[in-house]
Amino acid sequence: MKENRNPQNLPEAFLQKMSKLLGEEYDACLRSYEKERVQGLRFNLWKGTLEDMVKENRQRFDLTEIPWCREGFYYRQETRPGRHPYHEAGVYYIQEPSAMAVVSLLDPQPGEKILDLCAAPGGKTTQIAGRLHGEGLLVSNEIHPARARILSQNVERLGIGNAVVTNEDSARLETCFPAFFDRIVVDAPCSGEGMFRKDEQARGEWSEENVRLCAERQQEILEHAAAMLRPGGRMVYSTCTFSPEEDEDGIASFLKHHPEFKIVKLTDDRKPAGLSAGRSEWASEEMPELSDTYRIWPHKAEGEGHYLALLEKSSDAEPGRVKKPKEPKYWRDKAGQKLLNEFLTDLCPAWKPDVDRLILFGDQLYQLPAQMPDFAGMKVLRPGLHLGTLKKNRLEPSHALALHLHPDEVKRSIAFPGDGTQILDYLKGNTLPDPDGNKGWVLVCADRYSIGWAKASGGILKNHYPKGLRI
């Protein structure tokens, strides 16, 4: 019986291109499309220690390590972690395994200023936030409004307090943050060839013309990203495509126009495991350093196709146009701050927001991350940690605050078993009994992970889980 040379009805022009690029490896790559794709989750380091979370969940989801990401794990599809209450508590993020390599390569450090330029739906943003451990500033940007809202929702679900979510194009963002960031991720919109195995729409939309248009757009995005990186800063460029025009050729073109940048060659102990070297011959014999960029091949690793390059801006580079950051208009209302203090004293005296970095959006109170400059005129969906709604004589806490807090930071909490029926009743919006006889706001937890608010009175927990999230 003749072997099926096109198992997923891939575009013929794409197959011809891949055959030319891969040579003897082409058949092995083609066979990988017949394999079932792997599934991955990545633990949220804000919620607890990696060791504890792995120990709790290894058997539950049949976890095995992803080599290029220390907090990433393959799981068995039938275990369905996306339907477990831990998902709603932000304990982990479901993410394609290859995509986890990007932040591993970036290696963000607590206290730094980081930009995720093309951030939706939030996989890389939430991974960066976990590595920052609540210290520093993370600006997560998405140009498409609907996708930016999804990004904002995922930032909230994982309890992130030091992220600002924006909805801007890269040119507009550059005017706000010239030479500002320590590290930047450019996970560029691309032709999606590396996703063909799992994404029928990507296969249907592919064309050689689209590859060319993507390559042009990527250069424009890189130009603006370069201007936002401080001298001495690092930037990861990544795509989920095999196309050399968008990968090695794109980096070669960028470096020719930006001699202040270089490709970072990592030592073996710093390089994420499981990555293949980039193919310098696809770009130019004059740039052998392109072999220090990286690829993930579906026939060589357990993951979809990905390309990554780590770039560094010279510390001697001219910073260009730099403006002194202007401070935001902070909230200084004494009556409102009294309500906030009353709320904190009553519920969470062990947790203190920075009262010098509070801002008010209408009646919504936020804590702005440290180092965030004034954002007047920018499209901002989430200007930091949402604390709650200021009402006439009280502060009503936000769902974001519940997910950000740990149980040991509040006076009143109640934990339901993560595998039990009561936590599912809570997620459905049902009223629950309160065996502790509390009065006032109570932090509801799935085991030891916060998941939302309830208001206790008379032995009853009135459900305050957001209606739009209920199952």
Active site residues: 240
CA distances from residue 30 to 27, 36, 93 in whole angstroms, order as listed: 5, 13, 29
Q: Which tokens go with 225?
A: 């990203």
User: What's the longest Cα–Cα distance across the chain?
Assistant: 80
- Under 8 Å CB-to-CB from 403, ≥6 apart: which residues? 89, 90, 156, 157, 158, 159, 450, 451, 452
Phi, psi of 383 (to 5 degrees): -90, 35
391-395: Cβ within 8 A, 24+ apart:
391/363, 393/339, 394/339, 394/342, 394/343, 395/339, 395/340, 395/342, 395/343, 395/365
Phi, psi of 266 (to 5 degrees): -90, 145
Secondary structure in 3-state letters for 246-313:
CCHHHHHHHHHHCCCEEECCCCCCCCCCCCEECCHHHCCCCCHHHHHCEEECCCCCCCCCEEEEEEEE
Burial tier of 278 (Cβ tally within 10 Å: 0-12, 13-18, 19+): buried
Q: How far is CA 17 from the centre of its chain?
A: 32
Asked if 294 and 102 touch (Cβ cutoff 8 Å), the reply is no
Annotate 243-277 with b (16+ C-beta within 10 A) or e (fewer).
bbbbbbbbbbbbbeebeebebbeeeeeebbebbee
Task: State the Cα–Cα distance between residues 282 and 244, nearest whole angstrom.
Answer: 6
